[in-house]
Amino acid sequence: MNLSRRVGLFGGAFDPPHRAHLLVARQALQECGLSRVVLVPNGVPPQKRGAHCSGEDRYRMVQLLVRGRRGLSASRIEIDREGPSYTIDTIRAMEDDCPEGLCFILGADQLLGIETWRESRTLMRSVPFIVAPRPGVEVSEFHRPPFDELRLHVLDMAPVDLSSSWVRERLAEGGEIEPWVTRGVARYVRERRLYRTGSKGSSAN
């Protein structure tokens, strides 16, 4: 499977974005020869009870995460869209602007639940998938239906063992979050007092 020059869409809540997101994006860019990777924060995550801070805050943090990093960018397409953010809608909206072709980047744990996503069968046929290993998820899981129908590339990297929920928990306890997030993201979180009970820009946890 040739992924060279395709545009990689990396979706997620990015609540907050952290260095593991950056690592996966850069690994996909380099290993698969992508032309660029676009990080797409959800506007309204359809399968979660809601983000812990606003879409605008999450988009700005993703911008800070990728700033100055060649081949990486942020898109607000889902932030600006009304209603729940569905991956299949984003792919349809962006494919005309990406004649070189698209692929979708996600964690192995997310891929396991793809059958619950909107228009899952259409989605699975629409683009190749680039998967980041995650602790506790064996690659052999994807050798059975329906995953065996996917055009699938598993990144050659150690399992990613860092989550946004862990970063939020650390913040809620009053702990520092560097070096797990970039300096720009850490400063933004601190200045906006995100993810702290009753703080500006955050919602109750």
At residue 108, does pLDDT exceed 90? yes
Q: Name the residue among 204, 203, 200, 195 with its Cα closest to residue 169.
A: 195
Domain boundaries, the chain: 7-160
7-11, 16-20, 130-134, 197-201: the lowest-pLDDT one: 197-201
Question: How many Å apart are CA 98 and CA 37, to the nearest integer?
Answer: 12
Average pLDDT of the residues in 38-53: 80
Average pLDDT of the residues in 168-191: 94
At residue 199, does pLDDT exceed 50? no
The residues with which 154 forms a beta bridge, in sequence order, are 131
Q: Where residue 48 falls among pLDDT bands split at 50, 70, 90?
A: low
149-168: per-residue pLDDT in tens?
899 999 999 999 999 999 99
Q: Where residue 85 falls among pLDDT bands split at 50, 70, 90?
A: confident
Q: Where residue 204 falls among pLDDT bands split at 50, 70, 90?
A: very low
| Three-class DSSP labels, the chain | CCCCCCEEEEEECCCCCCHHHHHHHHHHHHHCCCCEEEEEECCCCCCCCCCCECHHHHHHHHHHHHCCCCCEEECCCCCCCCCCCCHHHHHHHHHCCCCCCEEEEEEHHHHHCHHHCCCHHHHHHHCCEEEECCCCCCHHHHHCCCHHHCCEEECCCCCCCCCHHHHHHHHHCCCCCCCCCCHHHHHHHHHHCCCCCCCCCECCC
Architecture of domain 7-160: 3-Layer(aba) Sandwich (3.40)
Q: Where residue 124 falls among pLDDT bands split at 50, 70, 90?
A: very high
